[in-house]
Amino acid sequence: MMTGKLQRSTFMKLLIKYSSLVAAVCVLSVLSGCVAKEVAENFANTVKGDYYLSTDNHEAGEEYFRREVEQNPENVLNNYYYGRLLLLSHRAKTALPYLKKAASLAPENADYHFWIGAAYGSLEQGKERTFYQQALQLDPEHQQALTALGNSYMRSKQYTKALQMYGKALSLWPENPGALYNRALALSKLGRHKEEKDAWHRYLSVNSSGRLARNAVEHLNALGDFSYRNYILGARLVTVKAIAFDQSGTEVARASRSSLEMIGETAAGIESGMLQVVVYYKGDTELAKARALSIRRQLLKSSPELGRERIGVSWFGEPQRNRKKKWNIEESIDFFLINK
C-alpha cells in the first residue's frame, strides 16, 4: 500500500502519461498471469516512483522503495527509484550502489547511466563525465546529459567544450534555462562579449526573476547594456526591463507598464517607506522632470494603494554615475525606498 495519498490532479497526469502501459497490462493479463503480475507491479512502481520524485514526500518514497528493494533486489525499477530518492536527500554515496545496480540490469537505458554521473558529480570525485558520455552514446539527444557534461567542462575551465555541449542541448530545447545561463557564462569567460550580451538577453527572455536573473542583469550592466535593471526595494530585489518612453520621449511606453506595475506592487507590499523615483537625462533637466512625473502618474494608475504621498520624484540634467561599478549612463532611472 502506498504511503500518503496521490493528489487527484497528480494521479490523473500520471495515469495519462502511462496509459500505454495500462493497455499493455490489460493485454498481458489475458496472455500470462505471471508476466501480467510482473508488468502490473512495474507499472505501479513507476507511477509511485515518479510521484515521489515530483513531490516533497521523499522520506515516504525512500521507505517504500527500501522495502521493495529488500523484497526484490533484482528489480531494476526498485533500485533506480530508491537511488534517485536517496540522491534527492543528498545521500549520493548511499545512492550509487542502487543506481549502478539498475544500470547493470538494464545497460541500454541512458537515464540510469546519467544518474550515476549525477551522483558522482555531487560527490565531486571527477568520475561523472564517463557516465554522462555513456548516456550520450546510448541517446545522443539526452538533454540532461548534454547539459550536465557542459557543466562538468565549465568546472574544469574547458569553456569551448562546454559551449559545444550547451549548443547541442539548446538545439533540442531552446528554452533550457541551465544551458542558456551557463552558455552566456562560458562566452564571458572566453571574452566573446558581443555573443555574451546576446546570450544574456536570450536567458532573460526565458527567466527574468530570481538569483540567476539578477546575476544575468549584473553581467549585462557590466557590459554597458542597461536594457534590464535590478532595483533594491527594502529587503527585496526586483529585476525588470528598463523603463522606456513613447515617441514623444516624455510618456511611459505601453511595453514598460508591466515593469512599473511590478515595482509599484513590491513597494506597496512594504508597509513603511517612500518609493523614490530618480530620473537622469544628460543635458536636459526639463525632459528628466517630465519623465519623472509620467512615471509617478503610471505608478498611481497601476498601484493606487501606494498613494501620492508615498511616491517621491526627483530629476537631474546629468548622467547617472556609479564609481564603484564604473557606470556613466546618460539616460537612466533609479528606484529605491526611503524609510519614513
DSSP string, 62-100: HHHHHHHHHH-TT-HHHHHHHHHHHHHTT-HHHHHHHHH
Within-domain flag for 127: no
Task: Calculate what percentage of the chain has a pLDDT beyond 90.
Answer: 79
My answer on whether 46 and 107 are in the same domain is yes
Enter the DSSP assignment of 277.
E
More confident residue, 7 or 268: 268
Contact between residue 298 and residue 308 where contact means Cβ atoms under 8 Å apart: no
Q: Element (H or E) spanning 292, and its range?
A: helix 285-302
The set of cell numbers assigned to 314 is 526627483
| Residue 133 forms part of a structural domain | no
Most distant CA atoms of the chain, gap in Å: 86
Question: Does the structure show a pLDDT above 80 at 21?
Answer: no
Could you tell me if residue 283 is inside a domain? yes
> At residue 173, does pLDDT exceed 70?
yes
Do residues 41 and 109 both lie within one domain?
Answer: yes
Q: What is the pTM of this model?
A: 0.83
Average pLDDT, the chain: 89
pLDDT score at 3: 41
Of 149, 82, 147, 157, the C-alpha closest to 120 is: 149
User: Does 277 share its domain with 302?
Assistant: yes
Domain end position, chosen among 181, 204, 225:
225
pLDDT at 147: 98
Quick check: 180 and 198 in contact, CB under 8 A?
Answer: no
Residue 15 in this model has a pLDDT that exceeds 80: no
Q: Give me the mean pLDDT over the 262-279 stretch.
A: 93
Among 96, 122, 148, give the residue marking a domain's end: 122
One-letter amino acid for residue 231 of the chain:
Y
pLDDT at 2: 41
Please give the pLDDT value at position 126.
Answer: 83
- Residue 309 pLDDT greater than 50, yes or no: yes
pLDDT of 11 > 50? The answer is: no
> What is the rounded distance in angstroms from the CA atom of residue 80 to the CA atom of residue 97?
10
For 242-264, what is each residue's pLDDT tens digit?
999 999 999 999 999 999 999 99
CATH number at residue 185: 1.25.40.10
Please say if the pLDDT value at position 8 is more than 50: no
The region of weakest confidence among 43-57, 187-201, 219-233 is 43-57
60/144 same-domain check: no
**Last residue of some domain: 203, 225, 247?**
225
Structural domain contains residue 129: no
| CATH number, position 307 | 3.30.1330.60
Same domain flag for 107 and 4? yes
51 with 149, same domain: the answer is no
Same domain assignment for residues 22 and 115: yes
Residue 314 lies in a domain: yes
Q: What is the pLDDT of residue 31?
A: 47
Mean per-residue pLDDT for 198-215?
Answer: 96
Average pLDDT over residues 104-110: 98
The verdict on residue 198 lying in a domain is: yes
Identify the CA nearest to 178 among candidates 212, 208, 205, 135.
Answer: 212
- State whether 109 and 34 are in the same domain: yes
Alpha-carbon distance values, 295 to 240, 260, 328, 334 (Å) = 15, 8, 22, 11
- Which DSSP symbol is given to 245? B
Neighbouring C-beta atoms of residue 266, cutoff 10 Å? 20
Q: In this structure, are 1 and 107 located in the same domain?
A: yes
Q: How far is CA 211 from CA 176, 208, 216, 227, 269, in A?
A: 17, 9, 9, 18, 20
- State how far the Cα of 168 lies from the Cα of 31, in Å rounded to an integer: 44
Reported for 97-101, long-range contacts at CB under 8 A and 24+ positions apart, including other chains, are 98/69, 101/73, 101/76
pLDDT > 90? residue 323: no
Cα distances (angstroms) measured from residue 335 to each of 176, 266, 275, 324? 31, 11, 7, 18
- Same domain (yes/no): 174, 241: no
Instruction: Dump pLDDT digits (tens) for 325-335.
Output: 777 899 999 99
- pLDDT tens, residue by residue, 68-82: 999 999 999 999 999
102: number of Cβ within 10 Å: 26
CA–CA separation, 85 and 171 (whole Å): 30
Mean pLDDT computed over 203-231: 96
Domain extent at residue 197 = 140-225
How far is it, in rounded angstroms, from Cα 331 to Cα 16? Answer: 53
Interhelix angle 58-71/33-54, nearest 10 degrees: 150
Whether residue 84 is found in the same domain as residue 149: no
Total number of domains constituting the chain: 3
What is the structure's pLDDT at 216? Answer: 98
